[in-house]
Chains A and B, each alone.
Chain A
């Protein structure tokens, strides 16, 4: 399995501002993923972050809105930029080990 931590665990933000979410893993992983879970919905993949290369974004998600950094094999950040109330969600970091994805505790974001 994997031990994943995220910061912050929750935040309330004003529209138009940006929030950076951090994800830390207990040991090195090649692939890290960022998901969004909107209220009452399932998980949707935002992007895949591999160390040393640009993140790969899924349809409907763009780098300007969700810039991602992956400076090393145990850490990644996701920024939610120019937030609107529609960005209110839980944002989850995930890593893959032996073809299985494990998830962090999530960051609960409320945009007012």
Chain B
């Protein structure tokens, strides 16, 4: 079965610091990859996704993620975080067009302090 690992449970950064959140998955074949964000009191929103093509994908709010197939990784990055980026971030994986569920990592809580 697929699994997704997010190594950081809680990350605390100062405003303007750079962000990288790790995500690794355990499946050797082709996968679709997602990052979702859950702001305090709000519902889960799609940040970005990767299906194929350019392994560097750009999402909303200045976020990007890089798919490195050899490392089974899909790390999320942002060059300069803002206080409003304080949220829970979830990495998720699914087999394309397969009859399998979307599998989520445990999430990383990001706290941005002024």
Interface residue ranges, A against B (CB under 8 Å): 1, 33, 41-45, 48, 58, 92, 94, 99-106
Contacts and interface: CB of A to CB of B under 8 A. Distances in A.
Main secondary structure of the interface of B (DSSP, over half): loop
22 contacts: A33-B102, A42-B104, A42-B105, A43-B44, A43-B104, A44-B104, A45-B101, A45-B102, A58-B101, A94-B102, A99-B32, A99-B94, A99-B96, A99-B97, A100-B34, A100-B49, A101-B34, A101-B102, A103-B36, A103-B43, A105-B42, A106-B43
Interface of B: 32, 34, 36, 42-46, 49, 51, 90, 94, 96-97, 101-102, 104-107
B107 A42 contact: yes
Nearest to A47: B101
Given A103-B43, A106-B43, A42 B106 contact: yes
B43 to A, nearest CB: 4
Contact of A92 (B42, B44, B51): B44
Contacts of B46: 1, 100, 102
Contact of B101 (A41, A42, A48): A48
B32 A43 contact: no
B42 to A, nearest CB: 8
Which of A43, A58, A99, A106 is packed against the most chain B CB atoms within 10 Å? Answer: A43
Contact of A42 (B34, B51, B90, B94): B90
Contacts of B97: 99
Contacts of A101: 34, 102
Contacts of B102: 33, 45, 94, 101
A101 to B, nearest CB: 5
4 closest residue pairs by CB, A with B: A105-B43, A103-B44, A45-B101, A42-B104
